[in-house]
């Protein structure tokens, strides 16, 4: 059985969804979420993990630097001690260090709330992504003086490499935006697709190996 750690930074709804899928539903028994790693002591994802009886650990940014001997334990130590096979990112706001992407090449998966390669890269997460998408849509509508017929958003599930939001795409799901789309309505549509597709695609990828 594969041992998975989920990296998360905030509320943790996607992390909880993954835990319920693999640890409770557990359709194939091929993988289990055995650890949650978070970089914020007050993140609600830690409470979700506790409620679902999954161990968690808070790792500060300095502990991601494998060359900083003063930061103990570092992330590599934690992954080794917990015999982690795969890393799944679920709203994790820090970049995974190059040493870890090399060590876990092909074994780190991320979900992004837009259709990569658009709206990716440093600083593009959460509301920032949605605001950029809506701004570009409104600009498009204004320039063409027509209702939106060709503007889309969606989710991207991809492997993680040393570049942010760059690795091989495993899955994308898209939908056309409404001309009166709001930040709240777009967030809700993205959330629904994340909840429906992320655990399923992670499981499918594991089953393909």
192-204 pLDDT per residue, tens: 999 999 999 999 9
Percent of the chain with pLDDT over 70: 92
- CA-based nearest residue to 134, from 113, 109, 105, 117: 113
Count of C-beta atoms within a 10 Å radius of residue 115: 19
> pLDDT value at position 147?
61
What H or E segment, with its residue span, contains residue 35?
strand 31-38
- What is the spatial distance between Cα 7 and Cα 93, in angstroms, rounded to a whole number? 9
Active-site residue, selected from the candidate residues 112, 158, 166, 191:
112
Q: Which two tokens stand for residue 66?
A: 């494998």
Question: Looking at beta carbons, which pairs linking 25-31 to residues 24 or more positions away fall under 8 Å?
Answer: 27/203, 28/203, 28/207, 29/1, 30/1, 30/2, 30/203, 30/206, 30/207, 31/1, 31/2, 31/3, 31/4, 31/85, 31/86, 31/203, 31/206
Residue 68 has a pLDDT of 64
**How far from chain centre, in Å, is Cα 19?**
14
Rg (alpha carbons) of the chain, rounded to whole number: 18
DSSP state of 62: G
Q: Please tell me the predicted confidence (pLDDT) of residue 146.
A: 62
Q: What is the mean pLDDT of each run of 10 residues along the chain (209 residues)?
A: 96 97 82 96 97 95 71 85 97 92 96 97 93 92 70 96 95 93 96 97 94
112 is known as an active-site residue: yes
The angle formed by the CA atoms of residues 27, 83 and 21, to the nearest 5 degrees, is 20
Q: What is the pLDDT of residue 70?
A: 63
The pLDDT score that the predictor gives to residue 74 is 85
> Whole-prediction pTM value?
0.93
pLDDT for residue 10: 94
């Amino acid at each position: 059985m594969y041992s998975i750690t989920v990296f998360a930074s905030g509320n943790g709804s996607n992390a909880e969804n993954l835990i319920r899928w693999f640890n409770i539903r557990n359709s194939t028994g091929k993988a289990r979420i055995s650890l949650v790693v978070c970089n914020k002591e007050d993140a609600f994802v830690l409470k979700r993990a506790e409620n679902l009886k999954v161990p968690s650990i808070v790792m500060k940014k300095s502990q991601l630097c494998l060359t900083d001997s003063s930061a103990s334990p570092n992330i590599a130590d934690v992954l080794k001690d917990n015999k982690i096979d795969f890393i799944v990112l679920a709203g994790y706001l820090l970049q995974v260090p190059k040493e870890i992407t090399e060590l876990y090449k092909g074994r780190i998966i991320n979900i992004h709330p837009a259709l990569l390669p658009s709206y990716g890269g440093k600083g593009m997460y959460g509301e920032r992504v949605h605001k950029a998408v809506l701004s570009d849509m409104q600009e498009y509508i204004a320039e063409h003086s027509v209702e939106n017929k060709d503007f889309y958003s969606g989710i991207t599930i991809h492997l993680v490499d040393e570049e942010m939001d760059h690795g091989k795409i495993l899955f994308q799901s898209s939908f056309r935006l409404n001309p009166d789309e709001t930040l709240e309505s777009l967030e809700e549509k993205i959330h629904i697709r994340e909840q429906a597709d992320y655990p399923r695609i992670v499981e499918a990828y594991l089953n393909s190996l």
